[in-house]
């Protein structure tokens, strides 16, 4: 959207928000947002914020408000991008940053500044915080990270396509955008980052406007295509067909393709066979949830990056309790930081629990699913989550797997077949594992201790407080 138009819409939207939000909230979270021009088309609105904490927080908490306000301002359903205006960060925040805490809102200004939007050559802008430098490497992502680096070294030649899968909030988008960023910085070619959803929408629009030739030219003429959340294509025949040809053209011309998905290729429902096989041509790599050390490292990195004054105790508390998702980890850090910036009181365990109560509660629910148990046990024995369901049987994997089955049977209330299923096995295997571990515990004090501590870890999170 053009700058003038964007500013006008946002000015009106802001007036609307000032009416409906409390002055505090408005000052802190809305007053800091500016609109900026971009060259992404009329349906795209770019809003700039002083740092990525704002972006995360706004996305998590204020999107419905913002959309409603924009709509009231006459801007219907724009695709909203946030961009961090790095220049503003330095200009407006030094004092607060020295004092620690989330930088309070700068007074609202009506003039928009040119944002530091890192545009790809085509597609959506890259979030400037999603770089390799900001990506913390640990056992859960070493492989994916190494593959990403190899691809960036030699696009189109190392692994093509690169397929990265893993649950929500585990860093897929961060990694894939870091690849785009590195290729752009290294001037190694043109890059397009786009979500499958947006790709689909553009395709539909192109059909409606009889502009399919332009659409094809656009996506088939780039050096690196980064397609995020490919599972979105599940069951969508037309776009799968189109993507198949895009894929082939790029591939034949040795252009790099990178895909992410929240599940393995084989589990994407109704995906054409020929796409499934193509996605597996190159390298398939999985990202898992970071272990405790990595979670602490990520929080520390974040603290350093943002100059936050959060004590180590609090970082550990967050890292220990938020185990399902890095986005939530960051959200929790933000919440605690936000609190610290408002009060001078020391942070007690109770305060932390209170501040993070919603997230902790959600964590409980995930913790006691079969997968939650598998994760925890895999983490404890330092094996991969994938080992829980793999067909391999070396003792160093088989035993933790039996422990996990035992805990699932003891703690989840799920049926034997359901548990078996989740481990890629039948109910008899679960029954056997349960008996075996039960028996061993009678004579093996160390194992009893391990089981007890695992149960406690699952239990403490589970206990409502
Ligand atoms: P996904 O695309 O898998 O849902 P994202 O890439 O959006 O996840 O990651 C969620 C958040 O966690 C982002 O803010 C991202 O920067 C951060 N994050 C994830 N993995 C890491 C990591 N290894 N190091 C630093 N930050 C990370
Ligand atoms: Mg993502």
Q: DSSP letter string over 345-366?
A: SPPPHHHHHHHTHHHHHHHHHH
- 2 has a pLDDT exceeding 70: yes
- 159 has a pLDDT exceeding 50: yes
pLDDT at residue 89, rounded to an integer? 45
Q: How far is the CA of 314 from the centre of ligand 1 (A)?
A: 20
Q: Based on the number of CB atoms within 10 Å of its own CB, is 107 exposed (0-12), middle (13-18) or buried (19 or more)?
A: exposed
| Both tokens assigned to 436 | 């075996």
pLDDT at residue 105, rounded to an integer? 39
Whose CA is closest to 88, among 116, 62, 128, 126? Answer: 116
- 463 has a pLDDT exceeding 60: no
pLDDT band with cut points at 50, 70 and 90 for residue 6: very high
Q: How far is the CA of 224 from the centre of ligand 1 (A)?
A: 21
Q: How far is the CA of 174 from the centre of ligand 2 (A)?
A: 7
pLDDT at residue 82, rounded to an integer? 86
Q: What mean pLDDT comes out for the span 33-38?
A: 90
CATH 1.10.1750.10 spans which residues of the chain?
A: 370-457
Ligand nearest to the CA of residue 176, numbered in listed order: 1
Selection from 121-125, 141-145, 332-336, 411-415 with the highest mean pLDDT? 141-145
* % residues pLDDT > 70 (the chain): 90
pLDDT at residue 464, rounded to an integer? 37
Ligand nearest to the CA of residue 325, numbered in listed order: 1
Ligand nearest to the CA of residue 139, numbered in listed order: 1
| Both tokens assigned to 441 | 């515990």
pLDDT at residue 175, rounded to an integer? 98
Q: How far is the CA of 168 from the centre of ligand 2 (A)?
A: 7
Q: Domain 119-286 carries which CATH code?
A: 3.40.50.300
In sequence order, the 6+-apart residues with CB closer than 8 A to the CB of 261 are: 163, 164, 165, 229, 230, 231, 268
Distance CA 68, CA 77 (A): 9
| Both tokens assigned to 276 | 């499934």
pLDDT at residue 401, rounded to an integer? 96
Q: How far is the CA of 267 from the centre of ligand 2 (A)?
A: 18
pLDDT at residue 366, rounded to an integer? 62
Q: Which atom of ligand 1 is nearest to the CA of 141?
A: 23
Q: How far is the CA of 325 from the centre of ligand 2 (A)?
A: 12
Q: Which atom of ligand 1 is nearest to the CA of 134?
A: 25
pLDDT at residue 98, rounded to an integer? 29
Mutate to test the pocket of ligand 1, among 130, 137, 171, 194 (most ligand atoms within 8 A of CB): 171
Q: What mean pLDDT comes out for the span 303-326?
A: 89
**Ligand 1, atom 6: nearest CA belongs to which residue?**
171
* % residues pLDDT > 90 (the chain): 52
Q: What mean pLDDT comes out for the span 425-444?
A: 93
As its CATH architecture, domain 3-84 has 2-Layer Sandwich (3.30)
Q: How far is the CA of 256 from the centre of ligand 1 (A)?
A: 22
Ligand nearest to the CA of residue 230, numbered in listed order: 2
Helix axes 63-72, 3-20, angle to 10 degrees: 110
In sequence order, the 6+-apart residues with CB closer than 8 A to the CB of 448 are: 441
Per-residue pLDDT of 257-302, as tens digits, reads: 999 998 888 878 889 999 999 999 999 998 988 888 999 999 999 9
Measured CA to CA in angstroms, residue 135 lies from 71, 132, 230 at distances of 36, 5, 22
Mutate to test the pocket of ligand 1, among 326, 328, 359 (most ligand atoms within 8 A of CB): 326
Measured CA to CA in angstroms, residue 109 lies from 51, 81, 88, 203 at distances of 16, 19, 12, 38
**Ligand 1, atom 14: nearest CA belongs to which residue?**
327
- Ligand 1 pocket at CB < 6 A: 130, 134-136, 141, 166, 168-174, 298, 326-327, 330
Q: How far is the CA of 39 from the centre of ligand 2 (A)?
A: 23
* Sequential DSSP letters for 48-94: EESSHHHHHHHHHHTHHHHHHHHHHTT--SPEEEEEE-HHHHHHH-H
Q: Based on the number of CB atoms within 10 Å of its own CB, is 429 exposed (0-12), middle (13-18) or buried (19 or more)?
A: middle
Per-residue pLDDT of 115-151, as tens digits, reads: 344 556 678 889 888 999 999 999 889 999 999 999 9
Q: How far is the CA of 161 from the centre of ligand 1 (A)?
A: 21
CATH superfamily, region 370-457: DnaA protein, C-terminal DNA-binding domain (1.10.1750.10)
Ligand nearest to the CA of residue 229, numbered in listed order: 2
In sequence order, the 6+-apart residues with CB closer than 8 A to the CB of 14 are: 30, 31, 33, 69, 108
pLDDT at residue 369, rounded to an integer? 82
Task: Return phi, psi of residue 234, to 5°.
Answer: -50, 125
**Domain 292-365 fold:** Helicase, Ruva Protein; domain 3 (1.10.8)
3-state secondary structure of 195: strand
pLDDT band with cut points at 50, 70 and 90 for residue 42: confident
Mutate to test the pocket of ligand 1, among 58, 127, 169, 181 (most ligand atoms within 8 A of CB): 169
- 99 has a pLDDT exceeding 90: no
**Ligand 1, atom 11: nearest CA belongs to which residue?**
327
Q: How far is the CA of 327 from the centre of ligand 1 (A)?
A: 6
pLDDT at residue 51, rounded to an integer? 73
Residues linked to residue 453 through DSSP beta bridges, in sequence order: none
Instruction: Judge whether 115 and 35 are in contact, CB under 8 Å.
Output: no
Ligand nearest to the CA of residue 232, numbered in listed order: 2
Sign of CA dihedral 418, 424, 426, 432: negative
Which one is predicted more confidently, 428 or 106? 428
In sequence order, the 6+-apart residues with CB closer than 8 A to the CB of 151 are: 158, 159, 160, 162, 179, 256, 258
CATH 1.10.8.60 spans which residues of the chain?
A: 292-365
**Ligand 1, atom 13: nearest CA belongs to which residue?**
327
Distance CA 298, CA 182 (A): 20
Selection from 82-96, 207-221, 352-366, 415-429 with the highest mean pLDDT? 207-221
Q: Which atom of ligand 1 is nearest to the CA of 136?
A: 24
**Ligand 1, atom 18: nearest CA belongs to which residue?**
171
**Ligand 1, atom 1: nearest CA belongs to which residue?**
169
- 94 has a pLDDT exceeding 60: no
CATH 3.40.50.300 spans which residues of the chain?
A: 119-286
Per-residue pLDDT of 176-199, as tens digits, reads: 999 999 999 999 999 999 999 999
Q: Which atom of ligand 1 is nearest to the CA of 329?
A: 12
Per-residue pLDDT of 100-116, as tens digits, reads: 334 333 333 333 333 34
pLDDT at residue 365, rounded to an integer? 67
| Both tokens assigned to 109 | 């200004």
- Model pTM? 0.65
């Amino acid at each position: 959207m053009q700058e003038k138009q964007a500013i006008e819409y946002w000015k009106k939207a802001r007036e609307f928000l000032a009416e409906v939000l409390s002055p505090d909230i408005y000052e802190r979270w809305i007053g800091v947002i500016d609109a900026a021009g971009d060259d992404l088309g009329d349906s795209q609105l770019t809003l700039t914020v002083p740092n990525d904490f704002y972006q995360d927080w706004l996305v998590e908490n204020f999107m419905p408000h913002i959309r409603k306000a924009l709509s009231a301002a006459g801007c219907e359903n724009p695709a909203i991008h946030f961009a961090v205006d790095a220049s503003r960060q330095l200009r407006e925040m030094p004092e607060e940053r020295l004092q620690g805490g989330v930088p309070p809102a700068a007074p609202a200004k009506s003039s928009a500044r040119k944002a530091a939007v890192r545009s790809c050559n085509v597609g959506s802008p890259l979030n400037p915080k999603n770089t390799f430098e900001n990506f913390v490497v640990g056992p859960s992502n070493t492989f994916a990270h190494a593959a990403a680096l190899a691809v960036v070294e030699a696009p189109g030649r190392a692994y093509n396509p690169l397929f990265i899968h893993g649950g929500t909030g585990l860093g897929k988008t961060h990694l894939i955008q870091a690849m785009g960023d590195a290729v752009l910085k290294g001037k190694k070619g043109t890059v397009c980052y786009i979500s499958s959803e947006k790709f689909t929408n553009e395709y539909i629009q192109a059909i409606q406007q009889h502009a399919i030739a332009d659409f094809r030219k656009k996506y088939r003429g780039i050096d690196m295509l980064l397609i995020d959340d490919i599972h979105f294509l599940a069951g969508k025949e037309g776009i799968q067909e189109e993507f198949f040809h895009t894929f082939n053209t790029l591939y034949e011309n040795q252009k790099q393709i990178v895909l992410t998905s929240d599940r393995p290729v084989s589990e994407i429902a109704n995906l054409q066979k020929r796409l499934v096989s193509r996605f597996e041509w190159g390298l398939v790599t999985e990202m898992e949830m970071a272990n405790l050390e990595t979670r602490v490292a990520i929080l520390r990195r974040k603290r350093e990056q943002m100059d936050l004054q959060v004590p180590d105790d609090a970082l550990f508390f967050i890292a220990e309790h938020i185990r399902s998702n890095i986005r939530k980890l960051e959200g929790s850090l933000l919440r605690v930081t936000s609190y610290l910036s408002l009060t001078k009181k020391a942070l007690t365990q109770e305060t932390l629990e209170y501040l993070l109560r919603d997230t902790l509660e959600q964590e409980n629910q995930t913790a006691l699913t079969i997968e939650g148990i598998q994760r925890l046990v895999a983490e404890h024995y330092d094996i991969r989550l994938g080992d829980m369901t793999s067909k391999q049987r070396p003792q160093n994997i088989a035993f933790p797997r039996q422990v996990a089955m035992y805990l699932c049977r003891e703690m989840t209330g799920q049926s034997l077949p359901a548990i078996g299923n989740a481990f890629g096995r039948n109910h008899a295997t679960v029954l056997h594992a349960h008996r075996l571990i039960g028996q061993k515990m009678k004579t093996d004090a160390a194992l009893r201790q391990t089981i007890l501590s695992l149960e406690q870890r699952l239990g403490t999170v589970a206990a409502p407080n």
